[in-house]
């Protein structure tokens, strides 16, 4: 291997080792998602279900989309 390439490789390897050691000694602090992620997800699911439950049960929506049997033709005028 060329001396310049070998030196560059050792610098890169040394930098990676330093980063690994630095991260290994650092305490892991819980982030917002670690603390509240599940609760936010469940709260959103509950809100979604409540709103759509209200919409589907209280707003008197006509669900029969087919006009067959409900539309009667008018008499023909001459």
pTM score over 0.85: no
Give the domain range for residue 2.
1-58
In a domain, 77, yes or no: no
The tokens describing 43, both together, are 């709260």
Sign of CA dihedral 17, 20, 21, 22: positive
For residue 52, what is the domain's CATH number? Answer: 4.10.51
CB contact at 8 A, 64 and 70: yes
Task: Give the chain's domain count.
Answer: 1
In a domain, 43, yes or no: yes
Tens digits of residue pLDDT in 8-62: 777 677 777 777 777 666 667 888 888 889 999 999 999 999 999 998 888 776 6
Give the Cβ contact number of residue 68 at 10 Å.
6
């Amino acid at each position: 291997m060329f001396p310049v390439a070998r030196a560059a490789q050792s610098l890169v390897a040394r930098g990676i080792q330093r980063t690994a050691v630095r991260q290994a000694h650092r305490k892991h602090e819980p982030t917002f998602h670690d603390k509240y992620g599940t609760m936010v997800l469940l709260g959103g699911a509950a809100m979604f279900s409540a709103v759509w439950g209200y919409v589907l049960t209280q707003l008197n929506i006509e669900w029969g989309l087919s006009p067959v049997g409900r539309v009667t033709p008018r008499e023909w005028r001459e």
